[in-house]
Amino acid sequence: MMRCTNCRDNFTDYLEDSLPPPQREQMAAHLRECTDCAAELAALRRTVAALHSLPTVSPPEDLLARINRAVDAQTTTPRFRVSWQRIGTVAAAATLLVGFWAVFSHQRPGTMTEGISPALRFEHAVKEADVAEQAPSTTAEEPAELEEAAAPAPEVIREIAPPAAVRRDRNATRGVIREVQPEEQPPSPKPVYVEERRHSESTNGAGLDVPPRGGELDLGMGEEGRDAAGMTVERHMLTLGSEPAAPPVAKAQAGARMVITPPPLEERIVGETVQVQMAIQPEADVEQAQVRVETKGSLRLAEDKPVIYQGPLSMQDSKRLAFGIIAAETGAQELRVDLTSELPGVCASTPVTIPGFELPPQHLTTQVFHGTPLDQAIRAVAQEAKLKVSIGERVGQEAVSADFSAGVPGQAALRILAESADCSLQAQGDTYTVYRPAPDNDAQ
């Protein structure tokens, strides 16, 4: 006879249906007799369901940018946290000239500039830029934002997204992009950006070992070619006169607000179509918005149409949409919703994780049998637990007794009934068959 302690130690395995059949039946038998354990199990079942009902929370909107900045800071030295606005017109022009000099006299193949179009390869402009950096600023005063950033904080001064016309592949040349904005524009008709990157070549004294980020160039920083963290610093002068080698890989998570409502927990059943609702509100009116859903893993869309909406969106109204999903496996399911439009700023991309998909619930039976014919008991359980059963020819009307009043999963009840009459239970598809194994002499 199982003790209460043993029974409760196995509650989770029982709920997860991961007990070997004999042990599971022992537990079921104990639960039929011990109302305390049965009540505890019921409470635990509700607790687990409540836990599974916790929603996925959205990270703060700025978290992604924060993470990327922090990772970038691993390769950024405080040495250059000064305003590039100090450079001024003359310095910028000089830098450009030196940049051209660098291209034609010092360009080395196979360096970090791979992935950048040849027009952007202005290596070795850095030395001269460094000189220019130290020159007195021609700008009257620094914006407060830049002054603050000039402090030795582990953040970049200012990150300016390049305009669409000069947008480049951030993933190809990951780094901090700073716009040179002198009071007087340099004589170049094209915008000028300075990119700064750094990488470590060895573990520094603090034990930080940052993987190199894209190249081996050491462009020379005077007597301080490395920063305090032991990282090599390099800086590239880029004139973005041509389109980048590849478009941006990731879309900005901005420009629209998307709110996604997963199906209620009780509806998250494997194999069934469940509805996900969403609302979208852009920050500007757009005429040609497209909302696309991409599923992952075992999840698929109920209708094989990943584009769930095409048309206008108004910043005044929240557009409500819905789409069906079907999970083939239990557990958390993932999808991604992408919004694109004709306005580059109105786009969004958000991953969604919907936890708690489960197999169809086992319906319980609460039947009590005292000397009931086996076939009759089986049909009663099947009817209550909504199970399909088939009764073999050799299964007769043996009297069986069982008390399932505490609530027992129908499948387990069928097995208990069958085995109490020396029969067996077999699942074939969605049908359970109760049969009596053939005696050895019959099989011969």
Partner 1 sequence: MPPNEAEIIRQCQTGDSSGFDLLVREHYTRVYNTAFRMLGDADGAADATQTAFVRAFSSLHGFRGDSSFSTWLYRIVINVCLDELRDAPRQPASLTLVTDDGEELQERTIPDEQADPAREAARHERQEIVHQALQRLAPEQRVVLVLYDLNGFSYQEVATTLNLPLGTVKSRLNRARGALKEEIKPHLELFEP
- C-beta closer to partner 1: residue 10 or 411: 10
H or E stretch including 324? strand 319-327
The two three-digit tokens of residue 366, written as one number: 């609460």
Half-sphere exposure of 286 (CA within 13 A, CB side): 25
- C-beta closer to partner 1: residue 114 or 183: 114
Evaluated on CA atoms 62, 68, 71, 74, the torsion sign reads: negative
| Neighbour-count burial of 318, counting CB atoms closer than 10 A to its CB (0-12 exposed, 13-18 middle, 19+ buried) | middle
We find the least distance from the C-beta atom of residue 395 to partner 1, in angstroms, to be 34
We find the least distance from the C-beta atom of residue 432 to partner 1, in angstroms, to be 25
Evaluated on CA atoms 249, 252, 257, 262, the torsion sign reads: positive
Which amino acid, residue 38? Answer: A
We find the least distance from the C-beta atom of residue 63 to partner 1, in angstroms, to be 5
Query: Footprint of partner 1 on this chain (CB under 8 A)?
Result: 8-13, 40, 43-44, 46-60, 63-64, 66-68, 70-71, 74, 115, 170-174, 199, 208-216, 249-250, 257, 259-262, 277-279, 296, 320, 330-332, 350-353, 355-356
- Which of the 8 DSSP states describes residue 242? S
- C-beta closer to partner 1: residue 90 or 172: 172
Which amino acid, residue 194? Answer: V
**Could you give the CA distance from residue 218 to residue 112 in angstroms, rounded to a whole number?**
10
- Edge to edge, the sheet with strand 331-340 lists 307-313, 286-295, 331-340, 348-357
Is 414 within 8 Å of 432 (Cβ atoms)?
A: yes
We find the least distance from the C-beta atom of residue 399 to partner 1, in angstroms, to be 34
- C-beta closer to partner 1: residue 39 or 438: 39
The two three-digit tokens of residue 348, written as one number: 């969004």
We find the least distance from the C-beta atom of residue 51 to partner 1, in angstroms, to be 5
**Could you give the CA distance from residue 213 to residue 235 in angstroms, rounded to a whole number?**
13
What's CA 147's distance to the chain center, in Å?
36
- C-beta closer to partner 1: residue 106 or 296: 296
- C-beta closer to partner 1: residue 88 or 263: 263
- C-beta closer to partner 1: residue 226 or 319: 319
We find the least distance from the C-beta atom of residue 336 to partner 1, in angstroms, to be 9
The two three-digit tokens of residue 318, written as one number: 């929240």
We find the least distance from the C-beta atom of residue 42 to partner 1, in angstroms, to be 10
